[in-house]
Amino acid sequence: MSRLCAALSDLHALSGAFFCVRQLNAQYVFRGTMRKKITIPDILKMKLNGQRIAVLTSYDFPFTRLIDGGGVDIILVGDSAGVVVAGHDTTLPVTMDEMLYHLRAVKRAEPKALVVADMPFMSYQTGIDEACRNCGRMVKEGGAEAVKVEGGSNMAHVIRAVSSIDIPVMAHIGLTPQSVHRMGGYRVQGRNDQAERIKDDAFAVQHAGAFAVVLEGIPAALAAEISAELTIPTIGIGAGPACDGQVLVIHDILGLCEKYSPKFVKRYADLGPTISDAVSRYVAEVKSGDFPTEEHSFS
């Protein structure tokens, strides 16, 4: 091999991660790049046309390539990252800096799906100035195309203020994970005499300017009633089939989160054993000396 070829080969090897990224780009762009970028008006039109909206969470570059290639309409950079990525028991410890880190990694994949950034606990509850500033950081520093805040009537003032500076807001009512201590755990909300309060929340967030609302952990019949009455799309999670769209956490549908398995999750793949098996085989081959071979070595 000429010295130039050897140098190029070494350069190739040294930039393995870069090539891996390029391969990912080439392999998983099927539905991702063929479609046009999805915008807020597209999402609103989907409700008008009776088209269901598919939403998944994502927190990093490689998953976003795959998820966007699968054709989702919205990618939510959820604060569930605190649980499924960082290993916390709740979403409460998640910070603005952590959310910005995840958001930027997602945006680097240039998804066609609308990208919504979840606002972490205490980034928007303390007043509209701080809420606007932090939601603005998600757009300006992270590239978010919309933000999500938890809360109903109690957060209407925040939704109104943030929407008024042209940052689209997705609301989130019912079982709101940031309210875990008030709720006394992750419990279904809106049963019996609580139903009216949830309906009031739904109308309050629509009236305040939210472009969509997540309905989490509420009875299917109540979600159906709300979805029929609101003009903005409802995105359900544990809220039955009548919502205008559905959202799930990517780690849950791939079998990557053993800690919790809520009733509303459907597992579309079981990647845990596949990953464990790959790791065990790698370890065994390193220990036995079967890896690396000549094929993986430089002359």
Token reading at 157:
């003032």
Which of 28, 43, 57, 102 is close enough to bind ligand KIV by CB under 6 A?
57
The shares of helix, strand and coil residues in the chain, as percent rounded to the nearest 5, are 50, 15, 35
242 half-sphere exposure, CB direction, 13 A CA radius? 13
Residue closer to ligand KIV, measured from CB, 24 or 93:
93
Q: Give the 3-state secondary structure of residue 102.
A: helix
Which of 60, 68, 73, 79 is close enough to bind ligand KIV by CB under 6 A?
79
Which of 80, 189, 227, 246 is close enough to bind ligand KIV by CB under 6 A?
80
Q: Which residues are known to be catalytic?
A: 216
Shortest reach from residue 118's CB to ligand KIV, in Å: 5
Q: Which stretch binds ligand KIV (CB under 6 A): 23-31, 74-82, 186-194, 224-232?
A: 74-82
Answer yes or no: are the C-beta atoms of 116 and 148 closer than 8 Å: yes
Number of residues that bind ligand KIV (CB under 6 A): 12
Task: Print burial letters for 142-161: b (CB count within 10 Å at least 16), e (below 16).
Answer: bbbbbbbbbbbbebbebbbb
Which of 56, 237, 239, 254 is close enough to bind ligand KIV by CB under 6 A?
237
Write out the binding residues for ligand KIV, residues 16-55 only, by CB under 6 A. Answer: none
Q: Give the 3-state secondary structure of residue 54.
A: strand
Q: Which residues contact ligand KIV (rule: CB under 6 A)? A: 57, 76, 78-80, 118, 172, 214, 216, 237, 247, 249
